[in-house]
């Protein structure tokens, strides 16, 4: 049996499921230079699968949608604002922004626009539902990754999370990065965000595009989403 000091494996579970190992690698507090006190528990893969199946009931529009788009980003990057902006600019064609807040405490939302369903949740190294992401990633045609370009201290965290998500996303799924909050004076440019995320390397094998946005005013959003619509060969999203 492997010897590991991580709290997750302290349960002495001999399961060597790939999800769990991947989670441990990415979540190891020592690797993030954090004290042991901040360690968190996570779902076991079997529990995640069971919960994933239960969630499929809540997210029927997403799983039955012709076009599935994941909308991810660190907390406070602008995901919810974007969903409401999409709803507003769809001229009444979009569905409701449906929010689910499961007891394990993270936000999840979905929105239908023109037979395209967006499902959104926070990504963060300590997310206890990380093994669940696969349920949503499988079958996703694209990922919209929202980055708070004004929060330059967290660009590295945004990079790590993006790498993890790209690892579970279908290989041909497109990637649209929004360098958001470009209206703020200290916001990184799209070139700086691209470099910080190492975009040309991590997304080399898939269609990708980065655009500066100010989601609150809508600046840059139509241009960015028209790239997405073109890449997905669907009618304009907004």
Ligand X SMILES: Nc1nc2c(ncn2[C@@H]2O[C@H](COP(=O)(O)OP(=O)(O)OP(=O)(O)O)[C@@H](O)[C@H]2O)c(=O)[nH]1
Strand 116-122 vs strand 67-73: parallel, antiparallel, or unpaired? Answer: parallel
By CB under 6 A, which span of 32-40, 50-58, 163-171, 212-220 interacts with ligand X? 212-220
Angstrom CA distances, 57 to 118, 139, 194, stand at 16, 16, 36
Asked whether position 80 contacts Mg ion by CB under 5 A, the answer is: yes
Polymer length in residues for the chain? 238
Q: To the nearest whole angstrom, how small is the minimum distance from the Cβ of residue 79 to ligand X?
A: 4
Asked whether position 77 contacts Mg ion by CB under 5 A, the answer is: no
Name the residue number minimizing CB distance to Mg ion. 80
> With CB cut-offs between 5 and 8 Å by kind, which of Mg ion, ligand X, none does residue 73 bind?
ligand X
Please identify, using beta-carbon distances, which residue of 75 and 163 lies nearer to Mg ion.
Answer: 75
Residue 238, H or E segment:
none
Q: To the nearest whole angstrom, how small is the minimum distance from the Cβ of residue 78 to ligand X?
A: 3
By CB under 6 A, which span of 95-103, 163-171, 180-188, 230-238 interacts with ligand X? 180-188
CA 92, CA 115: separation in Å to the nearest integer? 13
By CB under 6 A, which span of 19-27, 78-86, 110-118, 135-143 interacts with ligand X? 78-86
Cβ-contact 209, 143 below 8 angstroms: no
Asked whether position 42 contacts Mg ion by CB under 5 A, the answer is: no
CA 63, CA 208: separation in Å to the nearest integer? 23
Residue of 17, 21, 81, 195 interacting with ligand X (CB under 6 A): 81
CA 23, CA 200: separation in Å to the nearest integer? 25
Residue 81: which region, alpha, beta or left (left: phi > 0; alpha: psi -120 to 50)?
A: alpha
For the packed helices 190-197 and 155-168, what is the interaxial angle rounded to 10 degrees?
Answer: 60
Number of residues that bind ligand X (CB under 6 A): 17
- Known binding residue 180? Answer is yes
Binding site for Mg ion (CB under 5 A): 79-80, 107
Q: What does the binding site for ligand X look like in residue numbers (CB under 6 A)?
A: 73, 75-81, 107, 122, 180-181, 183-184, 214-216
């Amino acid at each position: 049996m492997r010897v590991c000091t991580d709290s997750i494996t302290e349960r002495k579970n001999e399961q060597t499921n790939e999800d769990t190992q991947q989670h441990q690698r990415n979540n190891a507090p020592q690797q993030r230079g954090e004290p042991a006190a901040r360690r968190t528990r996570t779902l076991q893969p079997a529990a995640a699968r069971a919960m994933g199946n239960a969630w499929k009931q809540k997210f029927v529009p997403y799983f039955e949608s012709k076009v599935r788009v994941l909308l991810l980003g660190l907390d406070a990057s602008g995901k919810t604002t974007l969903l409401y902006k999409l709803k507003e600019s769809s001229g009444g064609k979009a569905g409701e922004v449906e929010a689910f807040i499961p007891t394990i405490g993270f936000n999840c939302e979905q929105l239908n626009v023109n037979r395209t369903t967006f499902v959104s949740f926070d990504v963060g190294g300590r997310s206890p539902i990380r093994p669940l992401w696969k349920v949503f990633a499988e079958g996703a045609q694209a990922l919209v990754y929202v980055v708070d370009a004004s929060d330059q201290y967290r660009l590295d965290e945004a990079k790590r999370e993006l790498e993890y998500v790209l690892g579970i996303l279908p290989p041909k799924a497109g990637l649209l990065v929004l360098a958001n909050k470009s209206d703020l004076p200290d916001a990184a440019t799209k070139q700086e965000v691209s470099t910080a995320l190492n975009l040309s390397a991590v997304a080399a094998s898939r269609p990708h595009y980065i655009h500066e946005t100010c989601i609150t005013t809508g600046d840059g959003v139509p241009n960015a989403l028209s790239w997405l619509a073109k890449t997905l060969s669907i009618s304009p999203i907004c």
